[in-house]
Amino acid sequence: MTSIVFLGAGSVVFTRELLTDILGYPELAGARIVLHDIDPERLATAEALARRIAAASGARPEISTTLDRRAALDGADFVINAIQVGGYPATRTDFDVPARFGLRQTIGDTIGVGGIFRGLRTFPVLAGIAADMAELCPGAWLLNYTNPMAMNVTYLSRVAPRLNVLGLCHSVYWTVRDLCDIVDVPFGDVEFDSAGVNHQAWILRWERDGTDLYPALDAAIEADPQLRRRVRVDMYRRLGRYPTETSEHSAEYVPWYLRHDEEITRLRIPVGEYLTVSEKNLVEYAETRDNPAPIDLRRDTTEYAPQVIHSMVTGTPRRIVANVPNRGLIGNLPGGFAVEVPALVDATGARPEPMGDLPPQLAAVNRPYVSVAELTVEAAITGDPRLVRQAAMVDPNTAASLTVGAIWDLCDALTEAHGDLLPEALRG
């Protein structure tokens, strides 16, 4: 019996989507499903939802729940990680404190001061998960959805190099879907390659029947002034390849946009967007808990975790996009750092595809992102709080917006605000 564990199962909307896809595969309909969360109410909501999905789909999984992470992980084959350390209050802190210093953010979960501090409070929990898995399920695959993705996968490769880890994100899939809609081409008709880092990778090849679709995109952009008011369209027109994350994400990874009022207006950048998204998620959770809606079993297999599990269990080959340590995969990005590349998955596991060198201008844009993440991971591993400040100093948006003195003061303020959510050595 395949054993699938959900860590952070209280993210019930996400759990619902993944479970619907997992139990929709006949080969997984009898799987052992273990739900874990540290919030008893959310865990109970997730369990009720899981049982309703199973009943509606006609599946007969073995469903159990536990507040004990070690009990959940014992004997696991696959571990889906969707935790958010500190929850909404910590996210609120990541936005409110920087805003007092005049620093604008949109999502704050990948790099920037928001991403740095999200990573720092997540790493200790990841270390605990990795240690538990080494003891209780050493051959299992950790399928990580938790952000900051690149930092988390890089950190795990440093502290648990033998752990099987894939970082999974849907941004490349939805980017290509969006591009296909723009040029009115069915998604199923196209082939594409992408490479880079999570939330800042690039569509390197995008074709239909061997024909490059970028000229069609150029024509669509030229014909539509509103398309030209997207950050990533602006980046594409200047850099030559389309970035794989939304405009609100992309705006805060570079120094060019958020500092300038006129750019925020020109490109319609939603400052503080993630707070709105988080508040909507809280409302959706409450509605799911209090007013259970009929289960919708229509499957749109956009998430990779169900596909990975099915491929590894059945041997069905699939090509996905995954975040893995850079071991000869992208030549002009640092070795060992987590990169996002295509990967083949089947019964033998996952095999990332070497992508060679990125075009030099794209690697140049990626490198500041990598530097922020590398310094943050190093801060956690060495316990050196100066590295936290130095990570913020080299962050493109933060450096473009604040003086170095203000950056250090901001890091001090966030350290105090997050308190014991941070590793003890970094609380000074």
Query: What local confidence, expressed as pLDDT, does residue 284 receive?
Result: 81
Q: Is 409 a domain residue?
A: no
pTM: 0.96
Q: Is 235 a domain residue?
A: no
Query: What local confidence, expressed as pLDDT, does residue 300 receive?
Result: 61
Q: Tokens 């499957």, residue?
A: 299
Give the up-direction half-sphere exposure of residue 84: CA atoms within 13 A in the CB hemisphere: 17
Question: Is residue 301 predicted with pLDDT exceeding 80?
Answer: no
170 has catalytic annotation: yes
Domain count, the chain: 1
Question: Is residue 278 predicted with pLDDT exceeding 90?
Answer: no
Q: Is 36 a domain residue?
A: yes
CATH code, domain with 104: 3.40.50.720
Q: Is 28 a domain residue?
A: yes
pLDDT, the chain, mean = 96
Q: Is 318 a domain residue?
A: no
Residue numbers of the domain that contains 143: 3-167+289-310
Over residues 351-372, the pLDDT tens digits come to 999 999 999 999 999 999 999 9
Query: Could you say which of 170, 249, 260, 418 is catalytic?
Result: 170
Q: Is 416 a domain residue?
A: no
Q: Is 398 a domain residue?
A: no
Query: Who's near 30: CB < 8 A, 6+ residues apart?
Result: 1, 59, 60, 61, 62
Confidence of residue 152 (pLDDT cuts 50, 70, 90): very high
180 near 117, Cβ under 8 Å? no
Angle of helix 273-290 relative to helix 87-100, nearest 10 degrees, comes to 160
Q: Is 271 a domain residue?
A: no
